Structure 1
Amino acid sequence: MPAVSIIVPVYNAEKTLPRCVDSLLNQSLRDLELILVDDGSTDTSLSLCDTFAAKDPRVRVLHTANAGPAAARNAGLGAATGKFIGFADADDRAEPGMFTELHGCALETEADLVVCDYFADRPGRAEIRKPFAGGSRVFEEVDIRARILPYFFGYAPGELAAFADCCPFADARSYVWCCLYRAALLKTNGIRFPNEKLYYTEDNLFNLLVTARAARITYLARPLYHYVEQAETFTGRFQPAYFDCRLRKYAFLSTLASQERLDVQAPTRLPRKICAETPTLLNYYAANAPSFSKKYQFVSIILHHPVIAQALEAVPSSEWPAGRLGATLTFAKRKQALPVVLACLGQKALRALKT
């Protein structure tokens, strides 16, 4: 039984996969298995995976029909034999000592989950991103329940104006590839990724399920993973169903809090989460829908949807963030689609001028 299983979903990644695999097989922690899950690739990724397996006995290859990264990761979880589980994406890379440090930290602190900082690599520069503020620490169960878990469901009264600073691990920086998980915790609780394609949220919901069961979480304030920001991202491939995915996420959160009887004040927190995320949602459609009429149509549908409208009514405008976010929420509450579209397009043009 290896110390760590690292699961990599692979889909048409022939250009970046060798660099990723090289960074994982050359880890200072040698006692690992690397599970490459080919997600129905149509380029040479499949043959690359088989070549890696032929050269190194630590590599295992699974071939699956294309169903997205969540399904690929679930297939990897079903095959993994390691005592701890890690993840990587095929276009990223890990620092040479990443899994030595994460594994050692997990053993030393007896943690169910270890989280580290990461680099966001862009052309010409790399920024350090921190899932938690401050230095390394251990969260005991009482801290997890009070300081981490509730933020997966939203924000308390008075926190919305500075929501991005509350708990990034439960929100914008909730990724599985900067984490190491105790395999027994995942297996005992049957923790898997959501089956549906939710875009942007599979990692977040997986980490929520882990956090809800973890007895101890350790944060290692060191950047050990390189997330490579590609020009061809989710926002570059317009997904009309993105709003429906957001609605399913909110329903998932509400149902989970109720069924698991989690003391997270979901009815109060969730509307604030929706308010925090609505400007991003509106901007996605206003910036990426293929025509002005489609932009207006999508934005109007969002503004009139009961889930969005009720959240905007439930949270006092005095709690909203200042500046552009607050202005967008004001337009949204009034169901004024045209000002929302024009404001988002203006911001997009401004960003283009700065680049």
Structure 2
Amino acid sequence: MDDMVLYLELQKSPKEVLLIIGSKHGIKIMQDILIGVCLEKLTVLSLSDHLFKAVEKEKENIENDSQYYIPRQFILLRKNEFDDHKFGQEDLAILYEGVKNQEFVEKLSKLSAKYLIGMHDRNYINTFDIWEKFRENTKKIYIISYVGGGKKDVLNWEKNEENPIELSIIFPMYNIAKYLPQCIETVTTWQTDFVEFLFVDDGSPDNCADIVKKYAQRDSRIKLLSKKNGGCASARQYGLERAKGRYIGFVDPDDFIQPDMYRKLLAKALEGTYEIAYCGYREYYENTGLSAEVPDALSYPYNEGTSDPAKIDELIGYQRVAIWRGIYSKDLIQRNKIHFYTELKRFDDLPFKIEVTSKARSVIAVPEYLYYYRMSRPGQDVSADDERLYVHFPIFEYLDKFMKNASNRNQLDYLHLVKVHTHRYALEKIKREFSKEYCRKAKRDIKGDFGFIEGMYVINKLGSKQDLLLFILLYWGWDGAIRKLLHRKEKALKENKAIKKLKLLNNKGI
């Protein structure tokens, strides 16, 4: 039986069905409906004359076959008869297949059907546009979409009568008033009523709250939440607990986005009922106004969407943290009791990213760079180069507890890789007077996971030569060798900068 008919059969049987046939496959759907669903009225609209004749002939066969439930009204329509036909609105289900005209499908929204069930090629019809047209007056929408003969996605949506919010975006605010207007203006450009913007004032000493209030007077979707200062994790968690959306997004309010970023993410998420949708991002350098794309996992299979557990697990190790360039199903978060660790004062996005990725059943990437991450701002976590980097160790303690019951060995391996990546990042940044203590803590963290041979195997399989070298040095406690390597690298970087400066001066003739 056709998937669309199976879905129809699972609902409380509607009294009336409008079936729109755009190909011969529609005749099979008509047969399946009359075998599996008991109706009072079935109207079959054929989009071409030759299909109408084929349907007419099949109707004669059906009426003489006892296996079919024949409705009291069984009506066949040509396309030019559609506008004059009257449909009931109380319990109408619309099914369509083979339609290549988006305007025609959108026109059907005027019928205020209870159910919309369809199948189309995305080369001709945009699934999200159809959802937007029908969402206000339709209780359930089920659309199978594909590109050519490729992979099929399924939008499976049910209206929440009490809560119309589809997407909540959370902004933790502390001392970012200077950047806030640009952030607000780029995220609120998308004019739709099913999004809410939650700005969490984390006891900020500047005038962030006043700026938000000013914008909220003009845009009812903007909401200000206020709390005592507790750090970014506590602000994100505060917003998360109050978010109404089916999907949740996060923005650092000193950053900004392409105005269509969240529309594109939500469209992809809904189109295939994906639990995570994410895009690429750019590093924006405030001192020059220039930006650069950051390499990330945006190609196949992620750009087409995947529910392959092995491919999703790979994102634990290889995808950048950057939780603010994605949206996450609230059901995914609540089902797995995922939250922000409010004790953490920085880098709280790392455990959140690993936990949601390890529990996600499906993900999809938008292969565009739509988020702008501001660099070189005073007070950023990424500027930390002292004992603040020790925060990595309590983070990994949390993650070890979260993952300890995991039966998936791949996830444990990728967590191990994340640890090595993170410690390498920290040791390349940290000041020399803090590096010895960091090495000591990192050694204990690494040794707690694997034996030496097992650890070497994992890092050699998943990581780089640099990762493998760092693992060996940390495991055996060769702190001095690590610090010497880092010192050489630091010296080489300084020499390279000096050489570049001299070349620049020579080119200018100075």
Q: Which amino acid aligns with 1:188?
A: R
Q: 1:321 to 1:216 in 2, by over 3 A?
A: closer
- The whole-number CA distance in structure 1 between the counterparts of 2:436 and 2:451 is 15
Task: For residues 265-311 of structure 1, give each alpha carbon's deviation from its aligned partner in whole angstroms, at most 9, with x where no partner exists.
Answer: 62x5555444333332222223xxxxxxxx24x22223334425737
Report the counterpart of residue 143 of structure 2 in structure 1: none
Match of 2:328 among 175, 178, 181: 181
Partner of 1:283, secondary structure, is helix
Deviates more, 1:210-219 or 1:65-74: 210-219
Match of 2:205 among 42, 45, 58: 42
- The whole-number CA distance in structure 1 between the counterparts of 2:326 and 2:281 is 10
For the pair 1:226 / 2:372, whether they are aligned, the reply is yes
- Higher Cα Rg: structure 1 or 2? 2
Q: 1:279 to 1:129 in 2, by over 3 A?
A: closer
Q: 1:58 to 1:151 in 2, by over 3 A?
A: closer
Q: 1:276 to 1:184 in 2, by over 3 A?
A: closer
Are 2:279 and 2:370, in contact at CA under 8 Å, matched by a contact in 1? yes
Report the counterpart of residue 306 of structure 2 in structure 1: 139
For the pair 1:126 / 2:264, whether they are aligned, the reply is no
Partner of 2:373, secondary structure, is strand
Higher relative contact order (CA 8 A, sep 6+): 1
Structure in which a larger fraction of residues adopt helix: 1
- The whole-number CA distance in structure 1 between the counterparts of 2:258 and 2:346 is 26
Q: Which amino acid aligns with 1:197?
A: L
Q: Among the aligned pairs, what percent are the same residue?
A: 22
Report the counterpart of residue 162 of structure 1 in structure 2: none
Are 2:456 and 2:471, in contact at CA under 8 Å, matched by a contact in 1? no
Q: 1:128 to 1:61 in 2, by over 3 A?
A: same
Match of 1:336 among 455, 466, 480: 480
Q: Which amino acid aligns with 1:342?
A: H
Superposed displacement of residue 147, structure 1: 2.2
Q: Which amino acid aligns with 1:180?
A: I
Partner of 1:119, secondary structure, is strand
Report the counterpart of residue 163 of structure 1 in structure 2: none
Task: For residues 17-61 of structure 1, give each alpha carbon's deviation from its aligned partner in whole angstroms, at most 9, with x where no partner exists.
Answer: 011011111125443111100111111112112222223211111
Match of 2:439 among 303, 310, 333: 303
For the pair 1:284 / 2:429, whether they are aligned, the reply is yes
Superposed displacement of residue 239, structure 1: 4.4
- The whole-number CA distance in structure 1 between the counterparts of 2:289 and 2:468 is 33
Superposed displacement of residue 223, structure 1: 1.6
Q: Which amino acid aligns with 1:248?
A: P
- The whole-number CA distance in structure 2 between the counterparts of 1:285 and 1:184 is 38
Report the counterpart of residue 269 of structure 2 in structure 1: 106
Are 1:4 and 1:31, in contact at CA under 8 Å, matched by a contact in 2? yes
Partner of 2:444, secondary structure, is helix
For the pair 1:194 / 2:194, whether they are aligned, the reply is no
Q: Which amino acid aligns with 1:139?
A: T
Q: 1:210 to 1:284 in 2, by over 3 A?
A: same
Are 1:91 and 1:228, in contact at CA under 8 Å, matched by a contact in 2? yes
Match of 1:240 among 361, 370, 387: 387
Q: 1:228 to 1:347 in 2, by over 3 A?
A: same
For the pair 1:349 / 2:494, whether they are aligned, the reply is yes
Are 1:299 and 1:341, in contact at CA under 8 Å, matched by a contact in 2? no
Q: 1:206 to 1:275 in 2, by over 3 A?
A: closer
- The whole-number CA distance in structure 2 between the counterparts of 1:186 and 1:330 is 36
Partner of 1:60, secondary structure, is strand
Are 1:131 and 1:174, in contact at CA under 8 Å, matched by a contact in 2? no
- The whole-number CA distance in structure 2 between the counterparts of 1:31 and 1:309 is 45
* Residues 129-168 of structure 1: pairs in structure 2 closer than 5 A: 129-135=294-300, 136-140=303-307, 143=308, 145-149=309-313, 152=316, 167=318
Superposed displacement of residue 225, structure 1: 1.5
Partner of 2:291, secondary structure, is strand
Partner of 2:292, secondary structure, is strand
Q: Which amino acid aligns with 1:223?
A: Y
Q: 1:279 to 1:5 in 2, by over 3 A?
A: closer
Q: 1:313 to 1:188 in 2, by over 3 A?
A: closer
Q: How many residues align?
A: 322
Partner of 1:139, secondary structure, is coil
Superposed displacement of residue 191, structure 1: 2.0
Are 1:102 and 1:114, in contact at CA under 8 Å, matched by a contact in 2? yes
Deviates more, 1:274-283 or 1:36-45: 274-283
Q: Which amino acid aligns with 2:272?
A: T
- The whole-number CA distance in structure 2 between the counterparts of 1:117 and 1:15 is 25
TM-score of the two chains, using structure 2 as the length reference? 0.57
Match of 1:20 among 183, 187, 195: 183
Are 2:176 and 2:208, in contact at CA under 8 Å, matched by a contact in 1? yes
TM-score of the two chains, using structure 1 as the length reference? 0.79
Q: 1:351 to 1:72 in 2, by over 3 A?
A: farther
Are 2:358 and 2:411, in contact at CA under 8 Å, matched by a contact in 1? no
Are 1:113 and 1:216, in contact at CA under 8 Å, matched by a contact in 2? yes
Q: 1:274 to 1:188 in 2, by over 3 A?
A: closer
